[in-house]
Amino acid sequence: MRAVVQRVTEAQVRVDGQTVGAIAHGFLVLLSVGKDDTDADTTYMVAKLAGLRVFEDAQGRMNAALADVGGSVLLVSQFTLHGDVRKGRRPSFMSAMAPERARVMVSQAAEQLRDLGLTVAEGVFGADMQVALVNDGPVTILLDSKKVF
C-alpha cells in the first residue's frame, strides 16, 4: 500500500459537482493498493496513519498525532500512486491491485481508522473525483507498506 499524506487545515472531495467527503483539521490521505498487498499491509498503513506525529505539540514541535489534536481523515483512493514511469512516458499500472479487491481494502482501512476512534470521510472509489485542500505547513509524507521509500 502506498499513501501520500498531507496535513491539512481543510480538504474536500467532489464527485459530479457534489461534495461527498470533507474534513477540517487533519490528514488528506491519497491511498493506493498494490497487487501483492494483504491485510497486513492495511494494518501497517492504518497504524502509521494513526500514529504519525506531524502536528505541533504544546512546545511547537511536530510531536502530536491525529487523536492528540482532534484531527480527521479524508481518505481518497488513488491507484495512480502505483504508476510506474521508469520506461517511456506513459505510466504502467501493472503493480496496482484489481479494482474489486482494492475497493475492499480501501474500505477496510477506513473502518480500521474509525475503530481507532478517528473521524473518517471518504471519496468514491473509482469515481472521477476533484480534490481540494489547504496543505498546512506544507507537510506532506509518503508512506509505503513495502518500505520502498
**Secondary structure element (H or E) that encloses residue 111, with its range:** helix 99-115
* Active-site residue set: 78-80
Task: Tell which residue, 24, 9, 1, 2, has the closest CA to residue 121.
Answer: 24
Q: Give one DSSP letter per residue of 45-84, joined into a string.
A: HHHHHHH---EE-TTSSEEE-HHHHT-EEEEEE-GGGG-B
